[in-house]
Amino acid sequence: MTTDPLSWVSCDGGPHVLLPAKACSAWSGTQASRDPRRGSTSFRWSGDPSAPASDYDAACDVAGLAGLVHTSAGAALVLGDEVPMSTWVPHDGFCGGVLVVPMTWPDARHDGPTLRSAVASVAPDEFLPTGLVLPNSGGRFLLCAAADAGPDWYYPTLTIAVPPAVYEVVSAEVHIQGFWLRLHALRSARQAE
């Protein structure tokens, strides 16, 4: 098991999003979206209901712990609710790994080996279908704060590569080895065409 430190995405609050690489340049964060579909969001981070909607507003409209926001370049997976931090941890049961949102820690340290061990001990059958499907995006993603936008990202980001495919999203919420974790995995729905 690797002992390399984990790379974390964190921000001042709000959801995180897993963007297909090809959608990164179109993601507006808290700025007015260039996508005309954003006008239908109910949340406005600005507090002004007449303000143009942003992609962050659409991410905040996600009611559950995970949801999709469609962009002009594909669909982005929103890790909903108040996400303190998130990362990608290897897991043999899924395509490359699992998105991890730790809600509590057994101690104050960000102990990568202990977290990796906890995540690896969660069996794939403990993950439940969410009904969410990510279309084939080429297999390259960026995990980032939903409020942020590139190309000069303010908050940390994490690049994730998986085999090109259509992915269904499966999730688990577990209390294990002193952690409370929300886990989201990508399971190949069918081979990429």
In this prediction the pTM is 0.89
User: By mean pLDDT, which of 100-109, 114-123, 150-159, 170-179 is the weakest?
Assistant: 100-109
Strand-pair category, 179-191 with 16-20: unpaired
Segment 53-79, tens digit of pLDDT: 888 889 989 988 999 998 877 889 999
Question: What mean pLDDT is reported for the chain?
Answer: 86
125 contacts: CB under 8 Å, gap ≥ 6? none
Segment 5-60, tens digit of pLDDT: 789 999 888 899 999 998 898 898 988 777 665 557 777 777 778 778 888 889 98
The CA-based angle 127-55-58, given to 5 degrees, is 60
Segment 95-107, tens digit of pLDDT: 878 999 998 876 6
- Cα separation, 28 vs 49, in Å, equals 18
Higher pLDDT, 3 or 6: 6
Query: Which percentage of the chain shows pLDDT scores above 90?
Result: 45
For the chain, the structural domain boundaries read: 9-191
User: By mean pLDDT, which of 26-40, 82-96, 111-125, 141-155 is the weakest?
Assistant: 26-40
Predicted confidence at residue 3, as pLDDT, reads 56
Predicted confidence at residue 153, as pLDDT, reads 94
